[in-house]
Amino acid sequence: MIRHVIGALVGREIDRRDGSGGVKGAALGWAAAGLLRRMGPLGMVIGGGYVAKKAYDRHKARRRG
C-alpha cells in the first residue's frame, strides 16, 4: 500500500514539473512504483526522500514569498 502512495506522489511531482497534467504523471508514477518495489526497501527510501525534498523545497519557496 505504501508503494502505491509513494508512486502516486512521485507521479504528482513529475506532473507538476511538466505542468501539463493528465496521463503522463499517472503513468510515470505507476512505473516509478513498480521500479521502487523491485529495488526493495532502498527504493522506498529513495522515492520517499524525493517526495519529501520536493515538499520541503515548495514549503521553503512559499515562506520566502
8: confidence class by pLDDT, cuts 50, 70, 90: confident
DSSP H stretches of helix in the chain: 2-18, 23-39, 41-64
Residue 19 DSSP SS3:
coil
Q: How far is CA 30 from the centre of its chain?
A: 10
Angle between helices 23-39 and 2-18 (to 10 degrees): 140
Q: Distance (Å, rounded) from C-alpha 38 to C-alpha 35?
A: 5
What digits encode the pLDDT tens for the residues 25-65?
777 777 877 887 788 888 888 888 888 898 899 899 998 86
- pLDDT for the residue 59: 92
pLDDT for the residue 48 = 82
